[in-house]
Amino acid sequence: MSLLDKIATIVASAGDILLEKMEAGFSICKKGQIDLVTDADHAVERFLISELKQAFPAASFCAEEQGWLEDNESDAVWFIDPLDGTTNFAHGFPYFSISVALAKNGQTVAGVVYNPVSKELFAAERGKGARRNGHPIKVSQNADLQDSLLVTGFPYNIKTSAENNFDQFSRATKASQGVRRTGSAALDLCNVACGRFDGYWEQLVNVWDIAAGALIVEEAGGTVTDYHGSALLHSSKSVIATNGLIHGQLLDVLQG
């Protein structure tokens, strides 16, 4: 079994845990005023760490709920978001995902994003293309921002921060066919990768939200940078991902 298939098998099993929790019920806590976490987030994260550790012992972990787990001196690290779209999940809105990326020497080499409700599994290995449920995917061919469908997200400190994305949302809405807000950054990226959206941007994201999805977009032929058009790093706090053709136009609109 390939590396990607092994990761995908583990992530798909983690998806079953989310579906079981949705059915059986779960508890909700607040990490901030509007930043929720459920016992499903914790259960899936524990499962992923334990399974990935068994399958690939020589890697560290950076997981949303537990932070950095430095088990060894490896150059490899897993970036894990056990439940991307916790607010959707907590409200019973069936749109969320699991995101797992493997990075080596600072570069993402493999990524898997899984929507357990639709059973869509997006996966990419660097240099080998991107797939949805095993079939190759490509970004859209739309070259005009005015004809584009975009997607974005808003930060949890939206009520207090000046970086609240409101002005950018307004400008991008006027400059395109529309801007959606789905509540799962990882799926937003995958939907750019398979051509449903032409572009996605967000400020104040974390590496576990976007590492897997960014690789999937790149491997589907798209372009991913930070908010200023520079190469995306694991430390980047902003992201723009497009089909490549509208990247400059979207950058210009967002910069104002």
Binders of Ca ion: how many residues, by CB under 5 A? Answer: 5
Window 72 to 111, contacts with ligand IPD (CB under 6 A): 81, 84-87
Q: How far is CA 6 from CA 70, 109, 112, 218, in A?
A: 22, 14, 10, 21
Residue 226 interaction partner, one of Ca ion, ligand IPD, none, beta carbon < 5-8 Å per kind: none
205 sits near ligand IPD (criterion: CB under 6 A)? yes
H/E stretch holding 61 reads: strand 60-63
Least Å from the CB of residue 64 to Ca ion: 5
Q: Does 125 bind Ca ion (CB under 5 A)?
A: no
Is there a contact between 250 and 242 (Cβ–Cβ < 8 Å)?
A: yes
- Does residue 185 bind ligand IPD (CB under 6 A)? yes
If binding is defined by CB under 6 A, does position 226 make contact with ligand IPD? no
Cβ proximity of 239 and 223 under 8 Å: no
Q: Find all residues with CB under 8 Å of 252, minimum gap 6, and list them.
A: none
Residue choice 184, 238, 243, 249 for contact with ligand IPD (CB under 6 A): 184
Q: Using CB under 6 A as the criterion, what x/- string covers residues 33-72 for binding ligand IPD?
A: ----------------------------------------
Main-chain phi, psi angles of 138, to 5 degrees:
-135, 150
**By the rule CB under 6 A, 125 interacts with ligand IPD:** no
CA angle, corner 21, sides to 60 and 38, nearest 5? 60
